[in-house]
Every structure is written in structure tokens, then in C-alpha cells.
Amino acid sequence: TERTFSIIKPDATRRNLTGKVNAVIEDAGLRIVAQKRIRMSRDQAEKFYEVHKERPFFGELVDFMISEPVVVQVLEGENAVARYREVMGATNPAQAADGTIRKLYAESVGENSVHGSDSLDNAEIEIAQFFTDAEIV
Ligand code: ATP
Ligand code: MG
């Protein structure tokens, strides 16, 4: 079994969709083993999305991520990283498959409701940015 890192983004928390997103996650067989609602600092958001810092949408992305509280989570299950990417759907909701979180709830390619780690290595790095070992049960 594997762990991945998830964020329920501001467009979803603002619309009170945390429970609906969590229902999709749990129905997919992933277990929420840590979860907290936080307001990301600008520093935290910039560090988290550092790989995208040269992209034209970086400033907009950081502003969006700090615009409202987010829910950060650790998800556990078999092939959790790949499984959650599947459950999230494509980055652009217009291309996301039926039944995925982004197809169901995302508003646009920028405001796309959830983040999920894209590799096991990144999952470990991202989890450590927001959770201590003791918080994951
Ligand atoms: P995430 O990393 O949030 O799980 P992802 O891996 O599907 O999403 P990335 O390519 O890593 O997509 O992009 C990170 C985030 O940057 C996207 O989720 C989205 O919020 C934002 N983003 C990506 N492409 C664009 C774009 N063309 N315009 C605006 N925002 C974008
Ligand atoms: Mg990504």
C-alpha cells in the first residue's frame, strides 16, 4: 500500500464541496489517513508549485491557492498515487472522464478543485511539507 498527497483547492472549499470530493475519494477505495483545513501562506504556495515558477500562469496559480482555505490530505491505498490521478481526472475539466472529481466539480483548467501528487517521490516530499508523521494515522 502507498500514500499520496491531496489538496482540495479553493474553488471547491468555497462551494462547500469538501464532503462531496471526499465521497468520491472514499468510494474509489482510498482512505483519508490525515486531513486538515489550512490557509496556505504565499511562501508555502510558491514552494509547493516551484516546478511551475517559469510558467505564465504561476502568479495566478499562487494567488488562487491562497485566496481561500484549502483542505490538505494524505490518502492511502493500493497504487494510491496513480489511483488518485485517475479519480481526479485530466487537469482540464473539459477533457476529464465521466465520474472523475474534475469532471464533476472543476470550473476551469486553473480552478480545478483538486491536486494530487504525480509520483511516489513527489508524494513523500509534498506530504512532508504539510504533515508530521504523528498526524498521519
Ligand atoms: P496538480 O499538480 O494541481 O495536481 P496537474 O498535475 O493535473 O494538477 P499541472 O500541470 O501539475 O497539473 O499544473 C498544476 C496546476 O496549475 C493545475 O492543477 C492548475 O491548477 C494550474 N494550471 C495548469 N495549467 C494551467 C493553465 N494552462 N492555465 C492556468 N492554470 C493552469
Ligand atoms: Mg501536477
- Grid coordinates of 21: 470530493
What residues have their beta carbon closer than 5 A to ion ligand 2? Answer: 118
Model pTM? 0.97
Q: Say if ligand 1 is within 6 A of residue 22 CB.
A: no
Take residue 105 and report the three cell numbers written for it: 466539480
Residue 98 Cα distances to 54, 87, 89, 102, 120, angstroms: 32, 10, 8, 9, 25
13 marked among binding-site residues? no
Instruction: Report helix, strand or coil for 9.
Output: coil
Amino acid at position 5, single letter: F
Distance CA 62, CA 116 (A): 16
Residue carrying C-alpha cell 495566478: 60
From residue 49, give the alpha-carbon distance in Å to each of 12, 17, 22, 57, 63.
19, 23, 23, 11, 12
Separation between Cα atoms, residue 1 and residue 19, nearest integer Å: 24
Three cell numbers at 64? 488562487
What digits encode the pLDDT tens for the residues 71-127? 999 999 999 999 999 999 999 999 999 999 999 999 999 999 999 999 999 999 999
Check if the beta carbon of residue 1 is closer than 8 Å to that of residue 77: yes
For residue 94, the ligand closest to its alpha carbon is 1
ipTM of the complex: 0.95
Among the listed residues 115, 116, 117, 123, the single catalytic one is 115
Residue 115 is among the residues annotated as catalytic for this protein? yes
Hey, which of 8, 47, 61, 68 would you mutate to test ligand 1's pocket, going by the most ligand atoms within 8 Å of its Cβ?
Answer: 61
Q: Give the rounded percent of residues in the chain with a pLDDT score beyond 70.
A: 100
Residue located nearest, by CA, to atom 13 of ligand 1: 91
pLDDT tier at 69 (50, 70, 90 boundaries)? very high
